[in-house]
């Protein structure tokens, strides 16, 4: 069974052909429940997200801010397992036809089994993995199995990455490059800042892959700003916060769908 890297690439290319950035949404699996998380993924796609990253909850999510840490804790206390993450990918992709990736720290995949995870993610219709803490020089085994199963390997670059390092990272990656707009952890911010635009410029000098910007985007104004220079706009904490703050699941689903619609308008740059 082959994964959906080609669907991911086609989706990003379609957005570019429409002279807009792609909207990439992040939601953790198992939050607020496994079933609720699946419905949340469907809701953001119905609202206008082009691509979804499904987070694999981790007990020590060092790169994530308080909002996603809270959601991960709820998911883990609810007993979420890797099987539930794969089910989330499978059901969300089957229901929407959209490309769905898993965003995960490396340790859970390493413990689960690299070949097993790649095989099962591809069978679930997954488009690939975003691996924020896997060093490129230690990624050969994963990339071998990802390539074999038609899965993208998305690495994260940051403003601190030197040009030579950027070239090494982008040469090893596939699907797209995740550009962290600023140093620090995930979360909403008042401003995305100029560092992101400069990082996109430097990254594009090393690769033909689309460059998608995440960390800090939470509203349509910021989405429009980032869409002016990036191929994709990644939004996570703003969606998760809406689900955390909602009095019940239906209210939360309506809120994330509405935000996805506002952001989808924002990335259209016009």
Checking if the pLDDT of 63 tops 80, the result is: no
Counting residues of the chain whose pLDDT is more than 90, the rounded percentage is 83
Cα–Cα distance measured from residue 22 to residue 210, given in angstroms and rounded to the nearest whole number: 10
Orientation angle between helical segments 82-96 and 114-123, nearest 10 degrees: 30
Identify the CA nearest to 241 among candidates 270, 226, 209, 219. Answer: 219
Q: Other CB atoms closer than 10 Å to residue 41's CB: what's the count? A: 28
DSSP code, position 23: E
Give strand ranges (E) for the chain: 22-28, 51-55, 100-103, 128-130, 152-154, 156-157, 177-180, 211-214, 232-235
Q: What is the mean pLDDT of residues 210-226?
A: 90
Q: What is the mean pLDDT of residues 168-197?
A: 75
Average pLDDT, the chain: 92
Checking if the pLDDT of 181 tops 90, the result is: no
Cα–Cα distance measured from residue 216 to residue 46, given in angstroms and rounded to the nearest whole number: 23
248 belongs to the catalytic site: no
41-50, 77-86, 173-182, 228-237: the lowest-pLDDT one = 173-182
pTM above 0.85, yes or no: yes
Choosing from 18, 19, 35, 53, the catalytic residue is 53
User: 229-249, pLDDT tens digit by residue?
Assistant: 999 999 999 999 999 999 999
Q: What is the mean pLDDT of residues 125-147?
A: 96
Give me the torsion for CA of 224, 28, 103, 213, rounded to 10°.
Answer: 10
pLDDT for 249? 97
Q: What is the mean pLDDT of residues 2-14?
A: 95
53 belongs to the catalytic site: yes
Checking if the pLDDT of 137 tops 60, the result is: yes
Identify the CA nearest to 165 among candidates 213, 203, 194. Answer: 203
Q: What is the mean pLDDT of residues 258-268?
A: 95
Choosing from 39, 50, 64, 91, the catalytic residue is 64
pLDDT for 186? 47
pLDDT for 100? 98
Checking if the pLDDT of 251 tops 70, the result is: yes
- DSSP secondary structure string for all residues of 96-161: H---EEEE--HHHHHHH-HHHHHHHHHHTT--EEE-TT--GGG-HHHHHHHHHTT-EEE-EE-TT-
Checking if the pLDDT of 269 tops 90, the result is: no
pLDDT for 192? 56
């Amino acid at each position: 069974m082959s994964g959906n890297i080609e669907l991911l690439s086609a989706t990003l290319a379609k957005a570019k052909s429409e002279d807009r950035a792609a909207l990439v949404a992040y939601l953790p699996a198992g939050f607020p429940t496994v079933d609720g998380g699946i419905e949340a993924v469907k809701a953001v796609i119905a609202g206008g997200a082009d691509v979804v990253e499904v987070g694999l909850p981790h007990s020590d999510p060092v790169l994530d801010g308080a909002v996603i840490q809270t959601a991960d804790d709820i998911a883990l206390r609810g007993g979420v397992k890797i099987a539930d993450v794969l089910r989330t990918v499978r059901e969300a992709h089957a229901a929407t036809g959209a490309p769905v990736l898993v965003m995960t720290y490396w340790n859970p995949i390493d413990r689960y089994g690299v070949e097993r995870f790649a095989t099962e993610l591809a069978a679930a219709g997954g488009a690939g993995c975003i691996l924020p803490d896997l060093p490129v020089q230690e990624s050969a085994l994963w990339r071998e199995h990802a390539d074999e199963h038609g899965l993208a390997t998305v690495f994260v670059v940051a403003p601190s990455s030197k040009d030579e390092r950027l070239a090494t990272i982008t040469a090893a990656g596939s699907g797209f490059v995740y550009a962290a707009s600023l140093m620090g952890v995930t979360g909403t911010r008042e401003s995305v800042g100029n560092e992101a635009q400069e990082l996109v410029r430097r990254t594009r000098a090393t690769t033909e892959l689309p460059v998608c910007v995440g960390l800090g985007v939470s509203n349509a104004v910021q989405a429009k700003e980032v869409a002016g220079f990036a191929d994709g706009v990644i939004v996570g904490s703003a969606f998760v916060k809406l689900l955390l703050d909602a009095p019940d699941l239906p209210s939360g689903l309506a809120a994330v769908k509405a935000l996805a619609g506002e952001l989808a308008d924002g990335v259209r740059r016009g």
